[in-house]
Amino acid sequence: MKILLLNLQNVGTLYKLKDFTVQPLNVGTLTNLKILPFNLQNVGTLTNLKILLLNLQNVGTLTNLKILLLNLQNVGTLTFDIYGKILIKRLVCF
């Protein structure tokens, strides 16, 4: 899939998405996302994200994040990510 414009609910696995522009809800696993501009809620695992622009809520595990611009709430584990990379706003509830 190249462009996924509206909201996803109860999605199991999404991979090799190029543009993901509105809000996914209840997403199981996202891999190889290039641009994720709006908010994710109740996300299980995100890997190889390049740009994550707005807020994440209730995120289980984030790995290999390059840029995480706004606020994270209730984040379980962040690895290979922000220390030495860019975290502009705030991390809450570690």
- Which amino acid is located at 24 in the chain? P
Indicate the pLDDT class of residue 21, thresholds 50, 70 and 90.
Answer: very low
- pLDDT for 35: 55
Confidence of residue 42 (pLDDT cuts 50, 70, 90): low
Q: Quote the DSSP letter at residue 84.
A: T
Residue 66's pLDDT band, with cuts at 50, 70 and 90, is low
Residue 14, classed as helix, strand or coil, is strand
Between the CA of residue 23 and those of 18, 50, 80, 82, 92, what are the distances in Å?
A: 15, 17, 25, 23, 21
